[in-house]
Amino acid sequence: MLCAISGEAPQVPVVSPKSGSVFEKRLIEAYIAENGKDPVNGEELAADELIEVKSQRVVRPRPPTLTSIPSLLSVFQEEWDALALETYTLRQTLAQTRQELSTALYQHDAAVRVIARLTKERDEARDALSKVTVSAKGAGEAMQVDSTGLPEAVLARVESTQAALSKTRRKRPIPEGWATSEAISAFKPTQTSETLQPGAKTLSVNSSGELAIVGGADGTASVYSVSQKQVVQVLPASGPITSAAWAGEKAIIASSTGSVKVFENGTEIANFNSHAGAATAVAVHATGDIVASVGADKSYVLYDLTTNSVITQIFSDASLLSIHFHPDGHLLAAGGQDGQIKIFDVKTGAAAASFAMPAPVKSLFFSENGTFLAAVAENSTTVSIWDLRNGQEIKVIETGSQVDSINWDYTGQFLLTAGPSGLTVNQYSKAAKSWSESLRSAVPAVAAVWGSAAQSIVALNTEGGVTQLTAQ
């Protein structure tokens, strides 16, 4: 018989009734005193439950001192017993740790597989969503796949507007009293308001050049009277304002919460929440009563202001940052986070063309001649001019400083750029087919637009105030 702990013949053998194993009495008693259980199967065990085994054994003489060989052997035996107990415990602990590690590895592998499956399903769902065209008929109605394009009434307005404008636009003379290159080159800052909206980055001026919307980061927009030099209305939004526009006398405001609100005479008359994420930009159609917005959810939405309803929602394959309608109203350009300018057919929602930019498209603007599209990428000092007829980039205007905003005048002659280092105006001569710089001003601006008849420039300065430049 051998001890289950030390593996040697026991001097005083005992048997555990729990496991039936034989042990050296002193070893098993020491183990029970420390752990209180059978070392073989782990069941609770007390020292008085051990069964002694009767066997012949030689009585060992007590060693007199450690100076004798027998006493040294006794000490070595005790040390060996302690080492055997410790080794046995370590082996048990090692086996348990290996089992726990194996279980943890299996759980980790299962978790990785679940994450991979969920990630794949998410990507497939996003891809499917980006290819779906969605339509909503009103605030509270469920959205559905739109396969028929615009409603008949809206389509008729779009087509009639396009037919009327496309016939007269290219032969339209320059309006009487419109600013000349000489007048623009003499523009100087004539008035600057106090801070209207700290951190504001949104500016829009109505057709008369009298009222300017300044969008704030605190969730409100100020309507500033340029002639009276004071705020006449404060429009509340649901979050930081990302874009604003005028549709006649109606103020359109988009916010980072995804809402697009419509105000008339300072009163909210409509609130749309079609975007699943921030609404990043808004634009007004040539009809004057159709508005479009783009958002971080990769879609653009059309709204009908005559009925205050959502017309359609079209999804693309990337988040959209900027938007502008073609002057005839049949095309819509949207600038993407992926650096692509996506041209859509307004009547069908189909992609008509795309142009590549080196970075996310921060701002874009159609020329009134209907053939040119200006665009600027984030943190860029250049403005790209694209010819829609052949899809070619025909001009790159180097401004020498960062450009945050671009704006073409009604005649298509003057392209206004704004940035933290100042303003520039570049003139396109149709007769000579050439570009020249008419104005370079050191007024820092985050956005700038043309005033009435291009006789002034209204700029939103970096402090959140409005600066007006005129020829004095």
- The domain segmentation of the chain, as residue ranges, is 1-59, 152-168+179-471
Q: What are 400-445's pLDDT values in tens digits?
A: 999 999 999 988 899 999 999 999 999 998 888 899 999 999 999 9
- 249-306 pLDDT per residue, tens: 999 999 999 999 999 999 999 999 999 889 999 999 999 999 999 999 999 999 999 9
Q: Which of 260, 168, 164, 246 is nearest to 206 (CA)?
A: 246
CA atoms within 13 A on the CB side of 123: 6
The reported pLDDT for the residue numbered 66 is: 65
Tokens for 110, please give them: 């299962």
Strands 331-336 and 320-325: antiparallel
Query: Distance (Å, rounded) from C-alpha 455 to C-alpha 458?
Result: 10
Q: What span, in angstroms and rounded, lies between the C-alpha atoms of 294 and 299?
A: 6
Q: Is the pLDDT of residue 67 over 80?
A: no
What pLDDT does 129 receive?
A: 72
Amino acid 141: pLDDT: 35
Residue 372, pLDDT score: 93
Q: What is the largest CA-CA distance in the chain?
A: 132
CA angle 257, 259, 260 (to 5 degrees): 140
Confidence of residue 1 (pLDDT cuts 50, 70, 90): confident
Pairing of strands 250-255, 241-247: antiparallel
- Write the pLDDT tens digit of every residue in 8-57: 888 889 999 999 999 989 999 999 998 889 988 889 999 999 999 887 66
Q: Residue 258 has what DSSP assignment?
A: S
DSSP string, 213-225: EEE-TTSEEEEEE
Contact 468, 188 (CB under 8 A): no
Closest CA to 423 of 468, 385, 453: 468
State the pLDDT at residue 133. Answer: 42
pLDDT tens for each residue of 72-84: 888 888 888 888 8
- What are 212's strand-pairing partners? 205, 224
d(CA 205, CA 418): 15
Three-state DSSP at 472 gives: coil
- Predicted confidence at residue 117, as pLDDT, reads 92
List C-alpha distances in Å: 352 to 15, 104, 355.
90, 54, 11
How do residues 345-381 score in pLDDT, each as one tens digit?
999 999 989 999 999 999 999 998 888 999 999 999 9
* pLDDT, averaged across the chain: 88
Q: How far apart are CA 74 and CA 56, in angstroms?
A: 20
Edge-to-edge strands of the sheet including 434-441? 405-408, 414-419, 422-429, 434-441
pLDDT band at 6 (very low <50, low <70, confident <90, very high): confident
The two tokens of residue 128 are 């499917």
Asked whether 336 and 351 are in contact (CB, 8 A), the reply is no
Cα(383)–Cα(84) distance, integer angstroms = 83
pLDDT digits 0-9 by tens, 132-179: 544 333 333 333 334 346 888 899 999 999 888 887 776 778 888 899
The DSSP-derived string for 124-187 is HHHHHHHT-EEE--STTSPPEE--S-S-HHHHHHHHHHHHHHHHHTTTPPPPTTPPPHHHHHT-
Helix, strand, or coil here: 447?
Answer: strand
pLDDT of residue 147: 38
Q: Report pLDDT digits (tens) over 308-333.
A: 999 999 999 999 999 999 999 999 99
pLDDT given at position 65: 58
Q: What are phi and psi of 274, to 5 degrees?
A: -80, -25
For the residues 201-217, what does the mean pLDDT come to?
Answer: 91
Q: How far apart are CA 218 and CA 293, in angstroms?
A: 21
Q: Which residue has the tokens 């004539």?
A: 190
pLDDT at residue number 188: 93
Q: Which residue has the higher pLDDT, 147 or 469?
A: 469
One of 3.50.50.60, 3.40.50.410, 3.30.1490.190, 3.30.40.10 is the CATH number of 1-59, namely 3.30.40.10
Superfamily for 152-168+179-471?
Answer: YVTN repeat-like/Quinoprotein amine dehydrogenase (2.130.10.10)
CA angle 5, 8, 12 (to 5 degrees): 85
* Rounded CA separation 434/119 (Å): 52
